[in-house]
Structure 1
Amino acid sequence: MINRAVPVAILLAALPFSASAQGVTGGDLGIEYNAPLDGSDFGGTTYSGGLEYGFMRTFSMSVNAAAYKPDNISTTATNVTLHGTYQLSSIASVGGFYGYDSIEDEGAHLFGIEGGTEFMGGDVGGYIGRVEDEGTILGFDGSYDLRSGFSVIGNVDLIDIDDARLAQASIGAEYQMAAGPQFYTQIGRISGEFDGDSDAVGFFTIGAKVAFGAARGTTFDNRSVFEVLPGF
Protein backbone atom coordinates (compact mmCIF):
# COMPACT_ATOMS: atom_id res chain seq x y z
CA MET A 1 0.00 0.00 0.00
CA ILE A 2 2.84 2.39 0.85
CA ASN A 3 4.49 1.64 -2.49
CA ARG A 4 1.74 3.60 -4.26
CA ALA A 5 3.60 6.78 -3.33
CA VAL A 6 6.66 5.85 -5.41
CA PRO A 7 5.10 6.18 -8.90
CA VAL A 8 3.38 9.35 -7.72
CA ALA A 9 6.80 10.79 -6.87
CA ILE A 10 8.00 10.11 -10.41
CA LEU A 11 4.86 11.61 -11.92
CA LEU A 12 5.15 14.82 -9.91
CA ALA A 13 8.87 15.28 -10.49
CA ALA A 14 8.23 17.42 -13.58
CA LEU A 15 5.64 19.70 -11.95
CA PRO A 16 7.74 22.23 -9.99
CA PHE A 17 9.20 23.92 -13.07
CA SER A 18 5.89 24.79 -14.70
CA ALA A 19 3.83 25.10 -11.51
CA SER A 20 6.15 27.48 -9.67
CA ALA A 21 5.96 29.97 -12.56
CA GLN A 22 2.22 30.24 -11.86
CA GLY A 23 2.74 30.94 -8.14
CA VAL A 24 2.40 27.38 -6.85
CA THR A 25 5.16 27.00 -4.28
CA GLY A 26 4.58 23.41 -3.25
CA GLY A 27 2.29 20.49 -2.63
CA ASP A 28 2.19 16.94 -1.35
CA LEU A 29 0.36 13.61 -1.43
CA GLY A 30 0.40 11.04 1.33
CA ILE A 31 -0.94 7.74 2.60
CA GLU A 32 -0.87 6.52 6.20
CA TYR A 33 -2.01 3.43 8.07
CA ASN A 34 -2.73 3.30 11.82
CA ALA A 35 -3.49 0.30 14.00
CA PRO A 36 -3.98 -0.21 17.76
CA LEU A 37 -1.49 -2.27 19.74
CA ASP A 38 -4.16 -4.18 21.68
CA GLY A 39 -5.09 -6.34 18.69
CA SER A 40 -8.54 -4.81 18.16
CA ASP A 41 -9.95 -4.06 14.70
CA PHE A 42 -10.09 -0.29 15.03
CA GLY A 43 -7.33 0.76 12.66
CA GLY A 44 -7.62 2.75 9.49
CA THR A 45 -6.05 4.41 6.46
CA THR A 46 -5.67 8.13 5.77
CA TYR A 47 -5.25 9.58 2.29
CA SER A 48 -4.11 13.20 2.12
CA GLY A 49 -2.96 15.92 -0.25
CA GLY A 50 -2.22 19.63 -0.27
CA LEU A 51 -1.33 22.55 -2.52
CA GLU A 52 0.14 25.96 -1.67
CA TYR A 53 0.06 29.17 -3.74
CA GLY A 54 2.38 32.06 -2.96
CA PHE A 55 1.66 35.77 -3.27
CA MET A 56 4.75 37.99 -3.42
CA ARG A 57 7.41 36.53 -1.10
CA THR A 58 5.75 36.74 2.28
CA PHE A 59 2.16 35.50 1.97
CA SER A 60 0.64 32.25 0.78
CA MET A 61 -2.67 30.41 0.71
CA SER A 62 -2.92 26.65 0.89
CA VAL A 63 -5.52 23.91 1.00
CA ASN A 64 -5.14 20.46 2.55
CA ALA A 65 -7.66 17.65 2.14
CA ALA A 66 -7.83 14.22 3.74
CA ALA A 67 -10.05 11.14 3.77
CA TYR A 68 -10.07 8.86 6.83
CA LYS A 69 -11.21 5.27 6.19
CA PRO A 70 -11.53 3.13 9.34
CA ASP A 71 -11.10 -0.62 9.08
CA ASN A 72 -14.27 -2.74 9.35
CA ILE A 73 -16.58 0.29 9.34
CA SER A 74 -18.45 1.23 6.16
CA THR A 75 -17.95 4.97 6.40
CA THR A 76 -15.36 7.57 5.45
CA ALA A 77 -14.65 10.82 7.27
CA THR A 78 -13.19 13.82 5.46
CA ASN A 79 -11.46 17.10 6.25
CA VAL A 80 -10.64 20.18 4.22
CA THR A 81 -8.41 22.88 5.74
CA LEU A 82 -7.63 26.32 4.33
CA HIS A 83 -4.53 28.19 5.54
CA GLY A 84 -3.41 31.78 5.22
CA THR A 85 0.31 31.97 6.00
CA TYR A 86 2.72 34.86 6.54
CA GLN A 87 6.46 34.21 6.25
CA LEU A 88 8.14 36.08 9.09
CA SER A 89 11.56 35.03 7.78
CA SER A 90 13.19 32.23 5.83
CA ILE A 91 12.82 29.97 8.88
CA ALA A 92 9.59 31.10 10.61
CA SER A 93 5.91 31.24 9.55
CA VAL A 94 2.63 32.16 11.24
CA GLY A 95 -0.94 32.05 10.03
CA GLY A 96 -4.56 31.19 10.54
CA PHE A 97 -6.63 28.20 9.48
CA TYR A 98 -10.22 27.18 8.84
CA GLY A 99 -11.13 23.51 8.69
CA TYR A 100 -14.26 21.47 8.11
CA ASP A 101 -14.70 17.89 9.34
CA SER A 102 -17.53 15.76 8.00
CA ILE A 103 -18.82 12.23 8.53
CA GLU A 104 -22.18 10.73 7.54
CA ASP A 105 -23.81 14.09 6.69
CA GLU A 106 -22.67 15.63 9.98
CA GLY A 107 -20.02 18.35 10.07
CA ALA A 108 -17.98 20.57 12.38
CA HIS A 109 -16.12 23.83 11.73
CA LEU A 110 -12.64 24.49 13.13
CA PHE A 111 -10.68 27.72 13.13
CA GLY A 112 -7.53 28.97 14.82
CA ILE A 113 -3.94 30.11 14.56
CA GLU A 114 -0.72 28.21 13.83
CA GLY A 115 3.01 28.73 13.51
CA GLY A 116 6.32 27.01 12.95
CA THR A 117 10.05 27.70 12.95
CA GLU A 118 13.48 26.11 12.87
CA PHE A 119 14.97 25.72 16.34
CA MET A 120 18.32 24.31 17.47
CA GLY A 121 18.79 22.26 14.33
CA GLY A 122 15.20 21.01 14.18
CA ASP A 123 11.71 22.14 13.16
CA VAL A 124 8.93 22.85 15.66
CA GLY A 125 5.33 23.92 15.12
CA GLY A 126 2.04 24.30 16.90
CA TYR A 127 -1.59 25.33 16.58
CA ILE A 128 -4.57 26.19 18.75
CA GLY A 129 -8.17 26.58 17.70
CA ARG A 130 -11.85 26.13 18.38
CA VAL A 131 -14.15 23.31 17.31
CA GLU A 132 -17.45 25.07 16.59
CA ASP A 133 -18.25 26.98 19.80
CA GLU A 134 -17.96 23.87 21.93
CA GLY A 135 -14.32 23.15 22.62
CA THR A 136 -10.62 23.56 22.05
CA ILE A 137 -8.15 21.73 19.84
CA LEU A 138 -4.40 22.22 20.04
CA GLY A 139 -1.19 20.47 19.18
CA PHE A 140 2.57 20.58 18.81
CA ASP A 141 4.91 18.73 16.48
CA GLY A 142 8.60 18.61 15.80
CA SER A 143 11.40 16.93 13.90
CA TYR A 144 15.16 16.77 14.25
CA ASP A 145 17.48 15.80 11.40
CA LEU A 146 20.06 13.15 12.13
CA ARG A 147 22.12 12.04 9.13
CA SER A 148 21.77 10.21 5.81
CA GLY A 149 18.17 11.35 5.39
CA PHE A 150 16.91 10.14 8.78
CA SER A 151 14.99 12.30 11.30
CA VAL A 152 13.34 11.89 14.67
CA ILE A 153 9.70 13.06 14.66
CA GLY A 154 7.00 13.50 17.29
CA ASN A 155 3.71 15.19 18.08
CA VAL A 156 1.18 15.87 20.84
CA ASP A 157 -2.49 16.77 20.22
CA LEU A 158 -5.44 17.47 22.50
CA ILE A 159 -9.20 17.95 22.07
CA ASP A 160 -11.37 19.24 24.93
CA ILE A 161 -15.10 19.41 24.09
CA ASP A 162 -17.79 19.64 26.76
CA ASP A 163 -17.37 16.56 28.99
CA ALA A 164 -14.96 14.77 26.64
CA ARG A 165 -11.18 15.05 26.45
CA LEU A 166 -8.92 13.20 24.03
CA ALA A 167 -5.13 13.34 23.94
CA GLN A 168 -2.62 11.75 21.58
CA ALA A 169 1.17 11.61 21.77
CA SER A 170 3.56 9.79 19.46
CA ILE A 171 7.23 9.58 18.53
CA GLY A 172 8.97 7.95 15.60
CA ALA A 173 11.45 8.14 12.76
CA GLU A 174 11.36 9.44 9.18
CA TYR A 175 13.52 8.70 6.16
CA GLN A 176 13.71 11.17 3.25
CA MET A 177 14.99 9.70 -0.01
CA ALA A 178 17.43 11.87 -1.94
CA ALA A 179 14.99 12.05 -4.84
CA GLY A 180 11.56 10.70 -4.00
CA PRO A 181 9.11 10.20 -1.15
CA GLN A 182 9.66 10.20 2.59
CA PHE A 183 8.71 7.20 4.71
CA TYR A 184 7.91 7.31 8.41
CA THR A 185 6.78 5.18 11.31
CA GLN A 186 5.56 6.20 14.77
CA ILE A 187 4.38 4.60 17.98
CA GLY A 188 2.07 6.41 20.35
CA ARG A 189 -0.75 6.42 22.85
CA ILE A 190 -4.22 7.92 22.76
CA SER A 191 -6.22 8.47 25.95
CA GLY A 192 -9.71 9.74 26.57
CA GLU A 193 -12.06 10.85 29.32
CA PHE A 194 -15.85 11.06 29.07
CA ASP A 195 -18.30 11.62 31.93
CA GLY A 196 -15.69 10.59 34.48
CA ASP A 197 -14.67 7.38 32.69
CA SER A 198 -11.22 7.08 31.08
CA ASP A 199 -9.45 4.68 28.76
CA ALA A 200 -6.20 4.53 26.78
CA VAL A 201 -4.67 2.46 23.98
CA GLY A 202 -1.34 2.34 22.21
CA PHE A 203 -1.06 2.51 18.41
CA PHE A 204 1.49 2.44 15.63
CA THR A 205 1.62 4.36 12.37
CA ILE A 206 3.35 3.74 9.05
CA GLY A 207 3.13 6.13 6.14
CA ALA A 208 4.66 7.76 3.09
CA LYS A 209 4.49 11.24 1.61
CA VAL A 210 5.75 12.74 -1.62
CA ALA A 211 6.32 16.50 -1.79
CA PHE A 212 6.97 18.73 -4.77
CA GLY A 213 7.64 22.39 -5.54
CA ALA A 214 10.18 24.91 -4.32
CA ALA A 215 8.81 24.74 -0.76
CA ARG A 216 8.76 20.90 -0.74
CA GLY A 217 5.17 20.55 0.30
CA THR A 218 2.77 22.83 2.14
CA THR A 219 3.79 24.89 5.16
CA PHE A 220 1.06 23.41 7.41
CA ASP A 221 -1.04 20.24 7.40
CA ASN A 222 -4.68 19.32 8.05
CA ARG A 223 -6.30 20.64 11.21
CA SER A 224 -8.93 18.09 12.16
CA VAL A 225 -10.50 16.19 15.02
CA PHE A 226 -9.74 13.04 13.03
CA GLU A 227 -6.02 13.82 13.10
CA VAL A 228 -6.15 13.36 16.89
CA LEU A 229 -7.92 10.01 16.43
CA PRO A 230 -5.54 8.16 14.08
CA GLY A 231 -7.50 5.40 12.42
CA PHE A 232 -10.06 5.05 15.20
Structure 2
Amino acid sequence: MKILLSSAALILSAAPLYAQQFTGGELGFEYNQFVDDDSINGTNYHLGAEMAFNRSFSIAANVQNLDFEGDDTSATLHGIYHLNETSSLGVFVAGNGDEQTSFGFEGGTELWKGDIGGYIGQVDVDGETAVIFGLSSNTPIGANFSVFSDLDFVADDDVAVSTQELGVEYNITGGADIFAQVGQAEVFTDFGSDAETYVGIGARIQFGAARGTTFEAR
Protein backbone atom coordinates (compact mmCIF):
# COMPACT_ATOMS: atom_id res chain seq x y z
CA MET A 1 0.00 0.00 0.00
CA LYS A 2 2.86 2.40 0.72
CA ILE A 3 4.12 1.76 -2.81
CA LEU A 4 0.63 2.48 -4.19
CA LEU A 5 0.32 5.77 -2.32
CA SER A 6 3.87 6.77 -3.28
CA SER A 7 3.17 6.01 -6.94
CA ALA A 8 -0.03 8.04 -6.86
CA ALA A 9 1.74 10.95 -5.18
CA LEU A 10 4.54 10.79 -7.76
CA ILE A 11 2.07 11.01 -10.65
CA LEU A 12 0.18 13.90 -9.03
CA SER A 13 3.34 15.85 -8.18
CA ALA A 14 4.93 15.22 -11.57
CA ALA A 15 1.98 16.59 -13.54
CA PRO A 16 3.11 20.25 -13.43
CA LEU A 17 6.63 19.26 -14.50
CA TYR A 18 5.46 17.49 -17.64
CA ALA A 19 2.80 19.87 -18.88
CA GLN A 20 3.04 18.53 -22.42
CA GLN A 21 1.80 15.14 -21.17
CA PHE A 22 -0.67 16.33 -18.56
CA THR A 23 -4.22 15.93 -19.90
CA GLY A 24 -6.50 16.70 -16.99
CA GLY A 25 -7.15 16.73 -13.28
CA GLU A 26 -9.83 17.16 -10.67
CA LEU A 27 -10.15 18.48 -7.12
CA GLY A 28 -13.34 18.10 -5.10
CA PHE A 29 -15.19 17.37 -1.89
CA GLU A 30 -18.47 15.74 -0.83
CA TYR A 31 -20.54 15.76 2.36
CA ASN A 32 -23.24 13.17 3.12
CA GLN A 33 -25.58 12.74 6.07
CA PHE A 34 -28.07 10.02 6.95
CA VAL A 35 -31.69 11.18 7.08
CA ASP A 36 -32.83 9.16 10.10
CA ASP A 37 -29.77 9.90 12.23
CA ASP A 38 -28.13 13.29 11.75
CA SER A 39 -25.24 12.23 13.99
CA ILE A 40 -23.99 9.93 11.20
CA ASN A 41 -22.26 11.86 8.43
CA GLY A 42 -19.16 11.74 6.31
CA THR A 43 -16.87 13.88 4.16
CA ASN A 44 -14.81 12.90 1.14
CA TYR A 45 -11.95 14.98 -0.28
CA HIS A 46 -10.42 13.80 -3.54
CA LEU A 47 -7.69 14.74 -6.00
CA GLY A 48 -6.90 13.22 -9.39
CA ALA A 49 -4.55 13.72 -12.33
CA GLU A 50 -3.99 12.01 -15.67
CA MET A 51 -0.96 11.94 -17.96
CA ALA A 52 -0.82 10.66 -21.54
CA PHE A 53 1.95 8.74 -23.27
CA ASN A 54 0.25 9.25 -26.63
CA ARG A 55 -3.29 9.55 -28.01
CA SER A 56 -4.13 5.95 -27.08
CA PHE A 57 -2.47 5.29 -23.71
CA SER A 58 -2.50 7.19 -20.43
CA ILE A 59 -2.09 6.66 -16.69
CA ALA A 60 -4.00 8.32 -13.88
CA ALA A 61 -3.97 8.51 -10.10
CA ASN A 62 -6.69 9.38 -7.61
CA VAL A 63 -6.18 10.03 -3.92
CA GLN A 64 -9.13 10.46 -1.58
CA ASN A 65 -9.68 10.94 2.13
CA LEU A 66 -12.95 9.61 3.54
CA ASP A 67 -13.95 10.60 7.06
CA PHE A 68 -16.93 8.42 8.02
CA GLU A 69 -16.83 7.09 11.57
CA GLY A 70 -13.06 6.94 11.13
CA ASP A 71 -10.47 8.54 8.88
CA ASP A 72 -9.41 6.60 5.80
CA THR A 73 -7.07 7.58 2.94
CA SER A 74 -6.97 5.55 -0.25
CA ALA A 75 -5.29 5.69 -3.65
CA THR A 76 -6.22 4.34 -7.07
CA LEU A 77 -3.91 3.85 -10.06
CA HIS A 78 -5.35 3.44 -13.56
CA GLY A 79 -3.86 2.18 -16.82
CA ILE A 80 -6.06 3.46 -19.65
CA TYR A 81 -6.47 2.63 -23.33
CA HIS A 82 -8.50 5.11 -25.37
CA LEU A 83 -10.40 3.30 -28.12
CA ASN A 84 -11.31 6.62 -29.76
CA GLU A 85 -12.23 10.17 -28.78
CA THR A 86 -15.33 9.05 -26.85
CA SER A 87 -14.65 5.55 -25.43
CA SER A 88 -11.99 4.20 -23.06
CA LEU A 89 -11.07 0.96 -21.29
CA GLY A 90 -8.86 0.57 -18.26
CA VAL A 91 -7.47 -1.53 -15.45
CA PHE A 92 -7.18 -0.30 -11.88
CA VAL A 93 -5.61 -1.18 -8.55
CA ALA A 94 -6.63 0.57 -5.34
CA GLY A 95 -5.91 0.32 -1.64
CA ASN A 96 -6.40 2.07 1.68
CA GLY A 97 -3.84 0.30 3.82
CA ASP A 98 -2.70 -3.19 4.62
CA GLU A 99 -6.31 -4.24 5.28
CA GLN A 100 -7.86 -3.59 1.84
CA THR A 101 -6.74 -3.88 -1.79
CA SER A 102 -8.91 -3.99 -4.90
CA PHE A 103 -8.29 -4.43 -8.61
CA GLY A 104 -10.35 -4.83 -11.74
CA PHE A 105 -11.46 -3.54 -15.12
CA GLU A 106 -13.30 -0.35 -16.04
CA GLY A 107 -14.76 1.36 -19.08
CA GLY A 108 -16.72 4.37 -20.21
CA THR A 109 -18.18 6.01 -23.28
CA GLU A 110 -20.15 9.06 -24.34
CA LEU A 111 -23.80 8.33 -25.07
CA TRP A 112 -26.69 10.63 -26.04
CA LYS A 113 -24.70 13.78 -25.22
CA GLY A 114 -23.91 12.33 -21.79
CA ASP A 115 -21.68 9.53 -20.60
CA ILE A 116 -21.94 6.13 -18.95
CA GLY A 117 -19.31 4.00 -17.25
CA GLY A 118 -18.76 0.98 -15.13
CA TYR A 119 -16.27 -1.29 -13.40
CA ILE A 120 -15.99 -4.83 -12.12
CA GLY A 121 -13.34 -6.37 -9.94
CA GLN A 122 -12.35 -7.93 -6.65
CA VAL A 123 -11.52 -6.57 -3.22
CA ASP A 124 -9.46 -8.31 -0.54
CA VAL A 125 -10.17 -7.22 3.04
CA ASP A 126 -8.29 -8.86 5.91
CA GLY A 127 -7.86 -12.04 3.89
CA GLU A 128 -11.51 -12.16 2.80
CA THR A 129 -12.42 -11.76 -0.89
CA ALA A 130 -15.48 -10.02 -2.33
CA VAL A 131 -16.75 -9.04 -5.78
CA ILE A 132 -17.17 -5.34 -6.59
CA PHE A 133 -19.29 -3.85 -9.35
CA GLY A 134 -20.45 -0.38 -10.30
CA LEU A 135 -22.30 1.68 -12.90
CA SER A 136 -22.55 5.45 -13.39
CA SER A 137 -24.19 7.89 -15.79
CA ASN A 138 -24.35 11.63 -16.38
CA THR A 139 -26.93 13.20 -18.73
CA PRO A 140 -27.22 16.93 -19.59
CA ILE A 141 -30.72 18.37 -19.14
CA GLY A 142 -30.01 21.98 -19.99
CA ALA A 143 -27.32 24.51 -20.72
CA ASN A 144 -25.59 24.06 -17.37
CA PHE A 145 -27.51 21.29 -15.60
CA SER A 146 -27.11 17.52 -15.68
CA VAL A 147 -28.58 14.51 -13.89
CA PHE A 148 -26.25 11.80 -12.61
CA SER A 149 -26.69 8.36 -11.07
CA ASP A 150 -24.33 5.91 -9.39
CA LEU A 151 -24.62 2.29 -8.31
CA ASP A 152 -21.93 0.48 -6.31
CA PHE A 153 -22.17 -3.13 -5.14
CA VAL A 154 -19.88 -5.38 -3.09
CA ALA A 155 -20.65 -8.96 -2.06
CA ASP A 156 -19.01 -12.01 -0.52
CA ASP A 157 -20.46 -15.34 0.61
CA ASP A 158 -22.13 -13.88 3.70
CA VAL A 159 -23.14 -10.29 3.04
CA ALA A 160 -23.78 -7.82 0.22
CA VAL A 161 -23.81 -4.03 0.36
CA SER A 162 -25.16 -1.67 -2.29
CA THR A 163 -25.35 2.11 -2.60
CA GLN A 164 -27.50 3.95 -5.12
CA GLU A 165 -27.31 7.68 -5.74
CA LEU A 166 -29.30 10.12 -7.87
CA GLY A 167 -28.37 13.77 -8.13
CA VAL A 168 -28.41 17.04 -10.03
CA GLU A 169 -25.24 18.91 -10.97
CA TYR A 170 -24.83 22.55 -11.99
CA ASN A 171 -21.82 23.82 -13.90
CA ILE A 172 -20.74 27.37 -13.12
CA THR A 173 -19.58 28.60 -16.51
CA GLY A 174 -15.80 28.60 -16.52
CA GLY A 175 -15.69 27.35 -12.95
CA ALA A 176 -16.69 24.59 -10.58
CA ASP A 177 -19.44 21.99 -10.69
CA ILE A 178 -21.74 21.90 -7.65
CA PHE A 179 -24.20 19.11 -6.93
CA ALA A 180 -26.83 17.75 -4.58
CA GLN A 181 -27.81 14.11 -4.29
CA VAL A 182 -29.97 11.60 -2.47
CA GLY A 183 -28.79 8.05 -1.90
CA GLN A 184 -29.58 4.77 -0.24
CA ALA A 185 -27.21 2.30 1.41
CA GLU A 186 -28.57 -1.23 1.81
CA VAL A 187 -27.12 -4.32 3.49
CA PHE A 188 -28.26 -7.83 2.54
CA THR A 189 -27.68 -10.94 4.67
CA ASP A 190 -29.23 -14.38 5.06
CA PHE A 191 -31.47 -12.86 7.74
CA GLY A 192 -32.89 -10.06 5.57
CA SER A 193 -31.93 -6.55 4.55
CA ASP A 194 -31.68 -3.09 6.06
CA ALA A 195 -31.59 0.23 4.18
CA GLU A 196 -30.72 3.79 5.15
CA THR A 197 -31.32 6.96 3.12
CA TYR A 198 -28.82 9.82 3.01
CA VAL A 199 -28.49 13.21 1.34
CA GLY A 200 -25.38 14.99 0.19
CA ILE A 201 -23.84 18.06 -1.40
CA GLY A 202 -20.49 18.64 -3.03
CA ALA A 203 -18.35 20.51 -5.52
CA ARG A 204 -15.48 19.78 -7.86
CA ILE A 205 -13.15 21.66 -10.16
CA GLN A 206 -12.00 19.95 -13.35
CA PHE A 207 -9.02 21.32 -15.23
CA GLY A 208 -6.75 20.53 -18.15
CA ALA A 209 -7.49 19.97 -21.81
CA ALA A 210 -9.55 16.85 -21.06
CA ARG A 211 -11.48 18.51 -18.19
CA GLY A 212 -10.79 16.03 -15.43
CA THR A 213 -9.72 12.40 -15.43
CA THR A 214 -11.12 9.54 -17.49
CA PHE A 215 -12.00 7.39 -14.45
CA GLU A 216 -12.60 8.13 -10.77
CA ALA A 217 -11.37 6.61 -7.53
CA ARG A 218 -12.40 3.03 -6.77
User: TM-score with structure 1 length normalisation?
Assistant: 0.82
Distance 2:17 2:72 in 1: 30
Q: CA deviation at 1:197?
A: 4.1
Deviations 1:172-197 (A, max 9, x none): 10011111110011111110023524
Distance 2:18 2:145 in 1: 28
Distance 1:109 1:39 in 2: 30
Distance 1:161 1:66 in 2: 25
Which amino acid letter does the alignment assign opposite residue 138 of structure 2? S
RMSD over equivalenced CA pairs, Å: 1.6
Question: Does the Cα contact within 8 Å between 1:150 and 1:176 map onto a contact in 2?
Answer: yes
Distance 2:112 2:143 in 1: 19
Distance 1:116 1:155 in 2: 13
Which amino acid letter does the alignment assign opposite residue 43 of structure 1? N
Q: CA deviation at 1:20?
A: 6.9
Secondary structure of the corresponding residue to residue 134 of structure 1: strand
* 2:137 counterpart of 1:142: yes
User: What is the count of residue pairs matched by the alignment?
Assistant: 201
Partner in structure 1 of residue 110 of structure 2: 118
Partner in structure 1 of residue 181 of structure 2: 186
Distance 1:46 1:156 in 2: 17
Q: CA deviation at 1:120?
A: 1.9
Question: Does the Cα contact within 8 Å between 1:166 and 1:191 map onto a contact in 2?
Answer: yes
Q: CA deviation at 1:170?
A: 1.2
Q: CA deviation at 1:122?
A: 1.6
Runs of 5+ consecutive residues of structure 1 not aligned to the other structure: 1-15, 224-232
Runs of 5+ consecutive residues of structure 2 not aligned to the other structure: 1-14
Secondary structure of the corresponding residue to residue 153 of structure 1: strand
Partner in structure 2 of residue 159 of structure 1: 154
Partner in structure 2 of residue 94 of structure 1: 89
Distance 1:214 1:84 in 2: 19
From 189, 192, 214, the counterpart of 1:219: 214
Partner in structure 2 of residue 108 of structure 1: 100
Question: Does the Cα contact within 8 Å between 1:35 and 1:204 map onto a contact in 2?
Answer: yes
Distance 1:21 1:129 in 2: 32
Which amino acid letter does the alignment assign opposite residue 82 of structure 1? L
Between 1:188-197 and 1:214-223, the stretch displaced more is: 188-197
Which amino acid letter does the alignment assign opposite residue 147 of structure 1? G
Distance 1:144 1:118 in 2: 10
Secondary structure of the corresponding residue to residue 28 of structure 1: strand
Which amino acid letter does the alignment assign opposite residue 34 of structure 2? P
Question: Does the Cα contact within 8 Å between 1:125 and 1:142 map onto a contact in 2?
Answer: yes
Partner in structure 2 of residue 12 of structure 1: none
* 2:196 counterpart of 1:208: no
From 119, 123, 145, the counterpart of 1:127: 119
Question: Does the Cα contact within 8 Å between 1:20 and 1:213 map onto a contact in 2?
Answer: no
